[in-house]
Amino acid sequence: MAAKFFPVIPPSGAPNLIEAYFSDWHHQDGASEAAKWMVEFLKAAPNIRHVEFNTLVPSLKTPDGVLWAHLRVFEAQNGMQIDDLFIVLMSCPSLETLDVNLDTRVDDPYTLELEKEICLEKLQTLTLACIRQDQLPIILNGSIFPLSNDFR
C-alpha cells in the first residue's frame, strides 16, 4: 500500500486520541507502510494512554522523537527492536504496563547511548518475550523498575 493512500496528519495532530490498536497481518516480514504511518499518527497524539501493535513495530528513531508523557500501556505482540524498546522506556514516564515481544527475525544490536538511567516509578507489569540472553542485562542495567510489581 503506497503512502499516498494515507490521510495527511493535520497540523493540530490528534490531541483527543486516547487508545490505538493496530494490526497488519499482511506484512509479517517487515514493518508495513501502514504501520509506519500509524507511528507518525501516534507521534501527533500527545494524550495517548494505550498503544497496541499486533504487527512488527516500525522504527521509532526519528529526529523529533516520540514523547508520550501520558502513555500508560504499550504492547507490541509481533516484534520490535531493542532500540525502539528503549525509546518507549525513555519517552513514557507514566508507563504502567509494558508487554513486548522483541523481534528475533533480524540481528538486533543495541545502539543507543543513555545519558542517565531510566526510572519508571509507575511501572506495574513488565513482560518481555523473545528476548535474547545478551539483551536482558542491557535492559536491566539501563533501567530502574519498582521492586514490588509484576515482572515476567
pTM: 0.83
Using one digit for the tens of pLDDT, what is the confidence trace for 21-70? 998 766 556 667 888 888 889 989 999 999 999 888 888 876 566 678 99
Please report, for the chain, the start and end positions of each structural domain, with discontinuous segments joined by +.
Answer: 13-105+115-151
Q: 13-105+115-151 in CATH: which number?
A: 3.80.10
For the chain, the residue count is: 152
